[in-house]
Structure 1
């Protein structure tokens, strides 16, 4: 009996399995291993090439996208959509375009998330938003209207807002609530008020059921502050900084938004923090303008110092960094995201790029670093150090620097995943940067940027050391002329540009 069983086992081959069982097994292999398996066996090659599931999985891995498991779209259609999307982005040739009149006076507030584009009203009393298109305009299709969501505070103006729509159906409005009427203010007297956070549900436009009460963050005697607002998981990050010479120190608050509990506060000298990025649900990056460093903080840590501090390249004596901000899309998530069932796939936060705007009095630069590269530095340096890590020890191989001269940098949300849209100031086509190391330049305008040198950079006498810039990247130009546009952004499948003129216009280019 034992002999018969042994003989049966020895004679069994994986090729004897039906494809219904082979495909799930093969799905655990990397793309390289799938290629090797196909080279070793014609039977496996046929299974791999004929399986829509495996072809979709391979394409997802190359694009470094994440599948939407709740999508209603058949896998064969997801594969076709992903292939077309990647081709359009690589060639910077959108498939079609739609435009929407902005029939209200917009303010400087904007945001892009979950297939929605938000703009602040000039009155700062409300936000407007529009659902971005997923298909070309159809005959007799009703016009798309801008929806409106208001602050619930009567005497408040909106100074910023943050979104966690797919995670919590949540909009957080940062408001400035006047404590003195305008008519009682004297000339050149700064506004006085309370800075509050309101928690609203997008679906109902009412106070969020899990956080119905607002948070009063601090009193303000120095006019409107510069603020940063981000929401990830249970935490909302809110940074407050003042330009007023008599203003207080900068404060970065971390709240549990459901309970309103303050879990951490970081304080620094005035005009230190102008940006913040969640690298993970527990690690936050704060660009420190005063010290020209990148600080990596752990929210759960009781330490009052960063887990790791990274120094930017040294500058020559007399040169002073004026401003540094940062942004990375999409944010990480503590919960499975509630994706639209008609969304087949989405950008991976894990593989996304972080963009930094680094400004000197006469010059501006863009710095790009992968989110995973920054997180890996914490693993390599688990013990907090007394001094920042010199740029030469961490930066040259993971950074890409670009001179931002001639580029419109008013918008900070210019990345999605590993792509970045660049909008020139003069009328010319936009550019797309691609930091996915698995992609190759495609099309006549595409080219790979060389290491330690790029066509946008010049020696401005700023740096006191060699600025290594070796992060792989290629750039391609579009064929669409942009005239009069004030900013451009992008998401999983669209490039969005806003023209502010006598008739403001939102243009959406869909890949």
Structure 2
């Protein structure tokens, strides 16, 4: 160091020492003043930790649950406060499991917390508190089945609708109820208990003579809004929603969704003969006011999904896109949209292939509403997983191929912020390419992967998807909750560490076995082929603190955690032996996969808030028996 720089350095250090002495003198003076002032009420050096526990708890409850976990991991005082507070424990575990508290439940917090932990342990171990088999009274072909708010509805080809409340107690009997429907019933839908709303849709054919030579058939569509509890017309529905088709439909087909006051309908021709335009209508079901009407070429739309109470997603099979639409919210919005305001592209197809259909499903819907007062919590709709089932067919009409991918509803909403430059309200927006938005937030599967079938969109609820192995096999549940992924990884890592500690003499052998175990159970087939796996890939670190030591990860419950497969492969290529896509499709969304100890043989499965239902069929579309698994 040169003499000049040495001198400057010494001057700087002297100035710093002088500043420190001045600061110490001021602090000593303040302490002396506070000790001699009888009216002093609070020391100058008060910190957050000096606040009473009640105020600290109140503050922590206004933070995101992830921040509460972090606070417990960095400070001993806060860790003790959080671990000993049932209110904070309940708040954190609601966030961990993707649940929302039901403020209308009268149970104490400690009881709600206990029920939550017991319920999640059952799901994690696929160990129901009871099983029950019920017979379906009429063996007939059904058109559709739907499980909502614990009620299973089966709509038969004959137009008959039958419903049963799925038992939540082992001694509760299942009683079937037949809904007397209007003629020409084509669909039904149920709202949550918030609205007590049951929707029936009829399409009555009418013969129209435009000339004396060739009459044609049109349909009058009516939306019947009834109370689910009584079957009578809903008192909040001010008038009947009805309209006539202006074009000839061989057989009207309707998809219906309802969130809050918004009712959405997709109408298309299931016969595919006359190929009239697809129609999308949005209504305020209480006033009967039509808020939105969309016309599109035949075959464009088959499914819709609410992202929020006023934003919904349409899958456009003609373009291979997911379209974002917005429902006008009131008189202030005079502009009725005639185009989507944002579009996400699916991976482009190779030459000679087309999207045959794109189905969407997620439960529960946004604004799930009030639940029964006996239910202490319910699934957070904004953190649910969406399954998108894509059917691709060569233009020559040969065999179709099915793919499915999963993405969180929150991830699709975050795309609006990430790609805000693509939003347009004046003209049709430019689609965001899949390679820009999809690989980091999606997980793709071919039509059959890892020995289980991926063929049904009715098997998803919350962040779980259920399936059964082909033939007789175990029940399989995929969980796309990233915190569940992190917890399983921690449990596996801790177990391997404990094994090493128990026998130091075989440390090297244990390390090799542990590494092989993680490779086989976390990386799967791709890891065995030499693909690099990182435990940090797409896995949040918020649970590497005190909350990894809860009742789910004690030494007595290592077995179910170690039997859980963890998939965290980043940029995992989709198996596409038929070369349906133009380029390799990558995805990275992590998940866990659990299998039941027992084996079953079901032709179909349904998943709900508390239940898993296994259906045994007589033929392709004749339900004869239901096996109920209740997890609480």
TM-score of the superposed pair, with normalisation by structure 2: 0.72
Instruction: Tell me, yes or no, if structure 1 residue 80 matches structure 2 residue 106.
Output: no
In structure 2, C-alpha distance between the alignment counterparts of 1:132 and 1:351, rounded to whole Å: 25
> What displacement does 1:418 show?
0.9
> What displacement does 1:446 show?
2.4
Higher-Rg structure is: 2
8 Å contact from structure 2 (residues 311, 325) kept in 1: yes
Q: Tell me which of 250, 262, 265 is aligned to 1:223.
A: 250
Output aligned runs, 1:230-245, within 5 Å: 230-242=257-269, 243-245=271-273
Q: List gaps (5 residues or longer) in structure 1.
A: 181-188
> What is the match of residue 200 of structure 2?
173
8 Å contact from structure 2 (residues 474, 595) kept in 1: yes
> What displacement does 1:245 show?
2.6
> What is the match of residue 146 of structure 1?
176
8 Å contact from structure 1 (residues 104, 121) kept in 2: no
In structure 1, C-alpha distance between the alignment counterparts of 2:70 and 2:595, rounded to whole Å: 35
Q: Deviations over 1:452-497 (max 9, x none)?
A: 337x8343311112212111222222234332x3321212222122
> What displacement does 1:4 show?
4.8
In structure 1, C-alpha distance between the alignment counterparts of 2:196 and 2:65, rounded to whole Å: 36
Relative to 1, partners in 2 of residues 1:40 and 1:467: Cα closer, same or farther, differing over 3 Å?
closer
Instruction: Tell me, yes or no, if structure 1 residue 508 matches structure 2 residue 508.
Output: no
8 Å contact from structure 2 (residues 149, 609) kept in 1: no
Relative to 1, partners in 2 of residues 1:44 and 1:308: Cα closer, same or farther, differing over 3 Å?
closer
In structure 1, C-alpha distance between the alignment counterparts of 2:336 and 2:389, rounded to whole Å: 30
> What displacement does 1:161 show?
1.4
> What is the match of residue 486 of structure 1?
603
> What is the match of residue 391 of structure 1?
434
In structure 2, C-alpha distance between the alignment counterparts of 1:349 and 1:449, rounded to whole Å: 24
> What is the match of residue 62 of structure 1?
96
Q: Deviations over 1:346-393 (max 9, x none)?
A: 111111111111012331111111111111222332632643221112
8 Å contact from structure 1 (residues 275, 286) kept in 2: yes
In structure 2, C-alpha distance between the alignment counterparts of 1:75 and 1:191, rounded to whole Å: 60
- The 3-state SS of whatever aligns with 1:314 is coil
Relative to 1, partners in 2 of residues 1:427 and 1:205: Cα closer, same or farther, differing over 3 Å?
same
Instruction: Tell me, yes or no, if structure 1 residue 447 matches structure 2 residue 588.
Output: no
8 Å contact from structure 1 (residues 226, 274) kept in 2: no
In structure 1, C-alpha distance between the alignment counterparts of 2:461 and 2:477, rounded to whole Å: 11
> What displacement does 1:434 show?
1.0
In structure 2, C-alpha distance between the alignment counterparts of 1:53 and 1:458, rounded to whole Å: 49
In structure 2, C-alpha distance between the alignment counterparts of 1:403 and 1:95, rounded to whole Å: 33
> What is the match of residue 133 of structure 2?
99
Q: Tell me which of 473, 479, 482 is aligned to 1:437.
A: 482
Q: Tell me which of 249, 267, 281 is aligned to 1:253.
A: 281
In structure 2, C-alpha distance between the alignment counterparts of 1:429 and 1:18, rounded to whole Å: 51
In structure 1, C-alpha distance between the alignment counterparts of 2:120 and 2:55, rounded to whole Å: 30
Output aligned runs, 1:48-447, within 5 Å: 48-105=82-139, 107-125=142-160, 127-137=161-171, 143-151=173-181, 153=182, 156-179=183-206, 193-211=219-237, 213-219=239-245, 221-242=248-269, 243-300=271-328, 302-333=336-367, 337-361=369-393, 362-379=400-417, 380-381=419-420, 383-384=423-424, 386-405=429-448, 411-440=456-485, 441=488, 442-447=561-566
8 Å contact from structure 2 (residues 568, 588) kept in 1: no
Q: List gaps (5 residues or longer) in structure 2.
A: 1-32, 208-214, 329-334, 394-399, 489-560
8 Å contact from structure 2 (residues 564, 592) kept in 1: no
- The 3-state SS of whatever aligns with 1:465 is coil
> What displacement does 1:38 show?
4.0
Relative to 1, partners in 2 of residues 1:268 and 1:99: Cα closer, same or farther, differing over 3 Å?
same
In structure 1, C-alpha distance between the alignment counterparts of 2:150 and 2:232, rounded to whole Å: 21
8 Å contact from structure 1 (residues 170, 201) kept in 2: yes
Q: Deviations over 1:108-152 (max 9, x none)?
A: 222222222211244213x22222222223xxx6x321123222x
- Structure 1 stretch displaced more, 280-289 or 207-216: 207-216
Q: Deviations over 1:245-292 (max 9, x none)?
A: 313110111111112221111111101111000111111100001111
In structure 2, C-alpha distance between the alignment counterparts of 1:199 and 1:118, rounded to whole Å: 16
Q: Deviations over 1:284-310 (max 9, x none)?
A: 100001111111111126331111111
Aligned positions, number: 491
Relative to 1, partners in 2 of residues 1:108 and 1:401: Cα closer, same or farther, differing over 3 Å?
same
8 Å contact from structure 2 (residues 313, 323) kept in 1: yes
Measured on the aligned residues, the alpha-carbon RMSD in Å equals 2.6
8 Å contact from structure 1 (residues 397, 471) kept in 2: yes
> What is the match of residue 185 of structure 1?
none
Question: Which portions of structure 1, spanning 4 or more consecutive aligned residues, are displaced by more than 6 angstroms?
Answer: none
